[in-house]
Structure 1
Amino acid sequence: MTTGNFQDKTAIITGAAIGIGFEIARQLAAAGAHVFLNDIDPAAAAQAAEQIQKESGSCTAVPGDSSDSQFINNMVEKSIEQTGRLDIAIANAGITLFGDFLTYPEDSFNRVIRVNLNGSFFLAQAAANQMKQQATGGSLLFMSSVTGHQAHKDLAAYSMTKAALEMLAKNLVIELSQYRINVNSIAPGATLTERTLHDKNYEAVWSRITPMGRPATASDIAAAALFLVSDQARHITGQSLVIDGGWTSVSPSPY
């Protein structure tokens, strides 16, 4: 996907210092986009942006809390001040807080809702208001999950937010298509990242229960993300693409 299709485009990606978000940012920058890379960890955001810059990509670190609507507005304004436009907004930031439904604490529930839903909703809103002013429109992308399609133990709150993001993408079709803004979501399955590899059994377990014989890599997910925010996908909107090596077709539990 590094074919120059994103030359001179501006993209914002939240929660992108590591993992899937970082790989999307890296591939977009390599393809010519100027990337505003957000993460709540200032040091991690700076390190990620520096690494992308060293690979000949254009990337600006924007540390801050992507669940805070005022910060989101400031981040969008910064992208406009520096590049004059905003073409792509990817709401990648999210948190997973496991817990039994019968005893799930309210503070955990509120954190999951705030980061996964508030942050995504208001990034889309701020980005769309800018894209509306541009004759070329733009692309929005939400980060869902296979858990928005299939039940997963101890993830009731998280799964609820991921299913909600897919409905948000569908609903925004009637709100934003007139402004040439398309909006989609991707639903990754098990993926090898810095976080999941903390579990020494993760790769072996998910290789065993995934029909394609392995979990996804961050590059697998990023390739799909880049397609959906590219000009080649301008007529695709309101859709969710599952990227799971076939797991949701059979859905064996990892437990």
Structure 2
Amino acid sequence: MNFNNKVAIVTGAGQGIGFEICRQLVAGGATVLLNDVDAELANNAAATINSDGGKSCVALPGDSSDISFINQIVDAAVNQYGSLDIVIANAGITLFGDFATYSPEAFNKVLQVNLGGSFFMAQVASNKMKLQPQGGSILFTSSVVGHQALKSLACYAMTKAALEMLAKNLVLELSPFKITVNTIAPGATLTERTMLEEDYERVWSEITPMGRPAYVSDIANTALFLVSDGARHITGQSLIVDGGWTSVSPLPYGIK
């Protein structure tokens, strides 16, 4: 996919899925503003991408759920590079907890990052995209748990389902300006974080119909399609990338 002359923001991209999305965007010709709340991760990720032959990945560390920082990163894209064509709101946190004892502090933090950050990033970015004749593309990162319940993930799952409804609502708001809004819902994926979990790859290989969890490239490939010119007539949709797991939904680790 050709992303020459495109300018993109990707949040939560210091490692894992977000990093691979940035890597592929740069390889396709885009200029990418790579965000992560962890400054060391963000800087190292951008340096790694640029050392692989790219020259167009810029680290912008900061809290993507903070409205002042959202304005800063969007302004940086437009003021320094002339446009903002793609926004991938990938940043999110998972705070497991039993529903009966889940704390207000955890609840508010998950909502602030997963929903607030995505909502206001889309708001600020789309207000810039509206001024561009070519419009733009916005992509939210949801999850299979927005479709299938898993224990101890009530709050997280709620935010992911909400992002999919947000994308549908924004079709009404943004389609007249040639701005597409879609959602990708990854299933179990091998990342730096999940590979720290005991037996993660074995368990998800056994219960995923395609015989393995996703690689970050599986998710990134799908994300890039949804923000590419080849998907300009796709909006308000959520695409599940889970090797078929939600079709049968066996629970991992003996969870009941």
Amino acid at match of 1:187: A
Alignment of 1:184-199 (within 5 A): 184-199=182-197
* SS of aligned partner of 1:63: coil
Pair 1:21 & 2:13 matched: no
Measured in 1, the distance between the counterparts of 2:249 and 2:127 equals 39
Pair 1:52 & 2:49 matched: yes
Measured in 2, the distance between the counterparts of 1:210 and 1:217 equals 13
Show structure 1 runs of 4+ deviating over 4 A. none
Pair 1:33 & 2:1 matched: no
* Aligned residue in 2 for 1:153: 151
Ranges in structure 2 where 5+ consecutive residues have no aligned partner: none
* Aligned residue in 2 for 1:172: 170
Confirm or deny: 8 A CA contact 1:113 1:161 kept in the other structure: yes
Ranges in structure 1 where 5+ consecutive residues have no aligned partner: none
Pair 1:7 & 2:4 matched: yes
TM-score, normalization: structure 1?
A: 0.98
Following superposition, the deviation at residue 200 of structure 1 comes to 2.7
Confirm or deny: 8 A CA contact 1:30 1:55 kept in the other structure: no
Q: 1:183 aligns with which of 181, 199, 224?
A: 181
* SS of aligned partner of 2:251: coil
Residue by residue, what CA displacement relative to the aligned partner does 1:136-178 show, whole Å, maximum 9, x if unpaired? 0000000000000000010000000000000000000000000
Q: Percent identity, aligned pairs only?
A: 67
Alignment of 1:218-233 (within 5 A): 218-233=216-231
Alignment of 1:1-255 (within 5 A): 3=1, 5-57=2-54, 58-255=56-253
Following superposition, the deviation at residue 82 of structure 1 comes to 1.2
Following superposition, the deviation at residue 35 of structure 1 comes to 0.2
Residue by residue, what CA displacement relative to the aligned partner does 1:33-90 show, whole Å, maximum 9, x if unpaired? 0000000011110000011111222100000000001100000001112101000000
Measured in 2, the distance between the counterparts of 1:94 and 1:214 equals 24
Residue by residue, what CA displacement relative to the aligned partner does 1:165-224 show, whole Å, maximum 9, x if unpaired? 000000000000000000000000000000000013100000000000000000000000
Amino acid at match of 1:122: F
